[in-house]
Amino acid sequence: MKSFNPPERTLMGPGPSNLDPRVLAALSRPIVGHLDPAFAAMMEELKELLRYAFRTDNALTYPVSAPGSAGMETCFVNLVEPGDKVIVCRNGVFGGRMIENANRYGAQTVIVEDDWGMPVDPQKLEDALKANPDTKIVAFVQAETSTGAESDTKALAEIAHRHGALVIVDAVTALGGTPVLVDEWGVDAIYSGSQKCLSCVPGLSPVSFGERAIAKLQARETPVPSWFLDLNLVLAYWNAEGGKRTYHHTAPVNSLYALHESLLLLQAEGLENAWARHKALHEKLAAGLRKLGLEFVVPAGARLPQLNAVKVPAGVDETAVRTKLLKDYNLEIGAGLGPLAGKVWRIGLMGYTCRQENVLFCLAALADVLSSRDTRS
């Protein structure tokens, strides 16, 4: 065996995205202890940068030392108590994972279903809440990574609050690529991931909790059933009261350097400019995909700019196309999940990957590969 040297890929799947050279450089900086005063100062900056990204003043905003799935679980394990009625809106894979979390923590789970490729229907949520007036929490995915559909977080949160329910939002693929306005929309708990539009390494999950969510946590009648994800414990490490931090776990120091750097880059570009860049380059990509005869799964107006799901044309071998793109062009695109497996490709346009040269490269590579006999089924 010898040292591992990975190939250089253009990552245009559903994540991770490519890293800016500054983020790569941040990973190689000298490691310090996770209780070092210098690291503690960086942690405070990191929380402020995350508040900027989430558009929130929530004090309880920090990165969980684990991937987006742990961010999801952090929200559910802290806010759901046995017997709570929880409405989960499912329009793809990750709504399904929310249901799994709610069920595992003893919720009475009510499911609002929408077709894969469609956004969550606000009227269906309204009807479900009228039928279940004792609902404590509504949970949904803003940016459904399995389909590329974006739901109207503002409208859904307003409906939930009108019926007295808290809101948990999955923004794993949304944050940094499309508007996420936590305070303006009144989102109570939200989680994201580091490896998509933030263009950081995988393995961190930014989360933010508002005052209503904290009040529910503080009023729990049962202990939080996860030691590692219990906010009451982890915040003794992330919050510096009197300049002191209580040891909770060994934080992924260098990964947090990288997240800090990626958020500095986002701040320097400006959130609105980042959203506009993703939208403009999505439109260029979409126009090129249409010229290749490819059809979108999600109707116009509900499409995520950073995650483009297109249907595999008849007579084309879905796996052969992805394999040839990877082998001949070092270009990664994603496969479908669940009922869309084998039927769609998911083309990511996230963060540092979201550049014009990558759009042109992807379209040229697809044109070549789709014309090849090797990709015919």
pLDDT digits (tens, 9 = 90+) for 128-162: 999 999 999 999 999 999 999 999 999 999 999 99
Let me know whether 253 and 311 are in one domain: no
Give 10-residue mean pLDDT values along the chain (377 residues): 96 98 98 92 96 97 97 98 98 98 98 98 98 98 98 98 98 98 98 98 98 96 96 83 77 97 98 98 98 97 97 96 98 97 98 98 98 88
The pLDDT value recorded for residue 326 is 98
The pLDDT value recorded for residue 242 is 59
Q: How far apart are the first and last CA of the chain?
A: 38
Domain boundary among 221, 238, 266: 266
Let me know whether 244 and 296 are in one domain: no
Q: Are strands 166-170 and 189-191 parallel, antiparallel or unpaired?
A: parallel
Let me know whether 73 and 114 are in one domain: yes
Q: What is the DSSP letter of 79?
A: H
Residue 343 resides in a domain:
yes
Let me know whether 185 and 207 are in one domain: yes
- Report the CATH number at residue 310: 3.90.1150.10
* Closest to 103 measured CA to CA, from 131, 127, 139: 139
252, 203 Cβ separation under 8 angstroms: yes
Q: Using CA of residue 35, residue 58, residue 230, residue 144, what is the dihedral sign?
A: negative
Report the number of distinct structural domains present in the chain: 2
Range of the domain at 331: 10-15+270-375
The pLDDT value recorded for residue 247 is 85
Full-model pTM: 0.97
